Chains A and B, each alone.
Chain A
Amino acid sequence: MSPLLFGAIVFTLACYVLAMALALLRMVRGPSAQDRVLAMDLIYTIGMLVLLVLAIRYRSEMYFGAALLIALFGFVSSASMAKFLLRGEVIE
């Protein structure tokens, strides 16, 4: 792995960590519940992107399954939280 790609990976991961910290700030501070759900959705997605970048870093394809699972769980949790806020129950 060339120093260029290594530096780009470190820069990308630093950007992701900063973005997750900012989204966490919105999640802690968010005035309404749907703000928190949106921030959680963003944190889930960026966590999935971190796994995809780590797959390039370690040249392993094992990370794709984990990234797909995180995307799946992020969607299910965000959709069910939004449904709960809308109706007061998730499954009718």
Chain B
Amino acid sequence: MKNIKSLLAITTFALAAVAIQGSANAQQANDPKFNKMMKDGFRAEGIAGLDRIDQDATQKFCSDPMFANSKQAEKMREKIQKMNMDSIKQPSDGKYIGDWLNGEKIAQSGRGATWTDKADTPVGGGCYNCHQIDKKEISYGTIGPTLWNYGKLRGYSQEVVTYTWNRINNSKAYNACSNMPRFAHFKLLNEQQIQDVMALLLDPASPVNQ
């Protein structure tokens, strides 16, 4: 009798533990109240339409970092990364490296895509907002890693070139919830501009690699 009781107690405890574990690691439930708050909370302004808060699968997944970073979410992370990887196009002209001087200009500009911008306002890469790149620019952010001596440190192999191309085109291919925008996916930068930013990082003549 005593044994049955303790068995029962252990089972109950185990079940409760599973339940707690489960709820802590499940993706947050859809909440109609939250959805309504978001829907009613914004209005379209200029080029910034309400479709900007219609989340795609990646955005939805990453809006729940507790779950997204959990062990339970590993498979889902891989799925999201694969989906983003599959969307990347290699350069149509086979050229990966453009003009670093123009790449520096793109890296400097953080403009574009806000409701105070026009549809034809060129969108900058905003790279210096988050990364150190050319050491001469002291006004740089620290959300991303330093890119100083990017090619010099990693070499200029095709492997490094392709990885960098992919990373700029769609950073979520490697890290599902990377803080870096998906520049090609959302057409923030075109192919030519990405080639130019590539040159800033991977042209041996670029000031970044001196």
- A, B: real partners: no
Q: Chain B interface (Cβ within 8 Å of chain A)?
A: none
Q: Chain A interface (Cβ within 8 Å of chain B)?
A: none
